[in-house]
Amino acid sequence: MDFKTQEQRLTKKGKETRVRIVAAAAKLMFERGVAGTSVEDVQKEAKVSASQLYHYFKDKRELVLAVITHQTEQVLGAQEPLLSHLDSMEALRTWRDAIVQLQIERQCQGGCPMGSLSSELADTDLAARTELAAGFMQWELAIRKGLRAMHERGELRVEADPDNLALALLTALQGGLLLTQCCKETTPLEAVLDAMLAHIRSFVV
């Protein structure tokens, strides 16, 4: 049974319990990593019994997949409504500022939740890698949609490639988040985002 089918069959209380378990697992895995988080740790954080947890998730691997879905929704949701309207340089700059501000508020800890999961799971768990890749594709498509709109309106030169620019911007963002996490300052993130926005601006008519 897939996650969506399972959720549809749950009672309201059951859905709330499942959400609480996933949120607790996501919090711990973000702070400690997947390997550093046990099922018992999640039970304690979510305040549920072992039987309750295994009622919703047959094993830790299934729980990890639910965490990936949760983190994708959280990461992309935190950027709305900015992410769905990246169709001007002003909008891109506002989005850039919001991402930098979020890292300041987090004191540059944790990096990107999706990126952290990827670095830990992509080489060892095919299902996890597939889910993470799908999440990053959603992120890229949102950026691509805005750049394509600019291109179609004639605001970017004909030779501009919105798809390639969107991929480059997301890739730069991930690298910037990683170095910001390592250096504990937002300078790397600001530098790479500013460089990418300057590159995009170079195509503005």
Three-class secondary structure assignment of 50-85: HHHHHHHCCCHHHHHHHHHHHHHHHHHHHCCCHHHH
134 and 80 together in one domain: yes
Which neighbouring-strand residues pair with 204?
Answer: 156
Q: How far is CA 153 from CA 9, 19, 81, 135, in A?
A: 46, 42, 21, 28
Q: Is 204 helix (H, G, I), strand (E, B) or coil?
A: strand
- Both 26 and 107 in one domain: the answer is no
Does residue 76 belong to any structural domain of this protein?
Answer: yes
Per residue in 39-98, pLDDT (tens digit) is 999 999 999 999 999 999 999 999 999 999 999 999 999 999 999 999 999 999 999 999
Q: What is the CATH number of the domain that holds 111?
A: 1.10.357.10
Residue 124 Cα to chain centre, angstroms: 19
pTM for the full model? Answer: 0.89
Torsion of Cα atoms, 101 then 103 then 105 then 107, to 10°: -140
- The alpha carbon torsion through 186, 34, 64, 112 (nearest 10 deg) reads 10
| 194 & 110 share domain | yes
Residue 179 confidence class, pLDDT cut points 50, 70, 90: very high
Please tell me the predicted confidence (pLDDT) of residue 162: 98
On whether residue 141 sits in a domain, the answer given is yes
pLDDT at 5 over 60: no
The helices-and-strands tally (H runs, E runs) of the chain is 10, 0
Contact between 100 and 143 under an 8 Å Cβ cutoff? The reply is: no
The model's pLDDT over 115-173, given as tens digits with 9 standing for 90+, comes to: 999 999 999 999 999 999 999 999 999 999 999 999 999 999 999 999 999 999 999 99
43 and 94 in a common domain: no
* Domain span at 29: 3-58
Total domains, the chain: 2
Task: Report the first-to-last Cα separation within the chain, whole angstroms.
Answer: 51
Rg (alpha carbons) of the chain, rounded to whole number: 19
190 lies in a domain?
yes
Last residue of a domain, one of 22, 37, 58: 58
Cα 48 to Cα 144: distance, rounded to the nearest angstrom:
41
Do residues 85 and 40 lie in contact, with contact meaning Cβ atoms separated by under 8 Å?
Answer: no
Same domain, 30 and 101: no
CA torsion sign for 192, 197, 198, 199 is positive
Q: What percent of the chain has pLDDT over 70?
A: 95
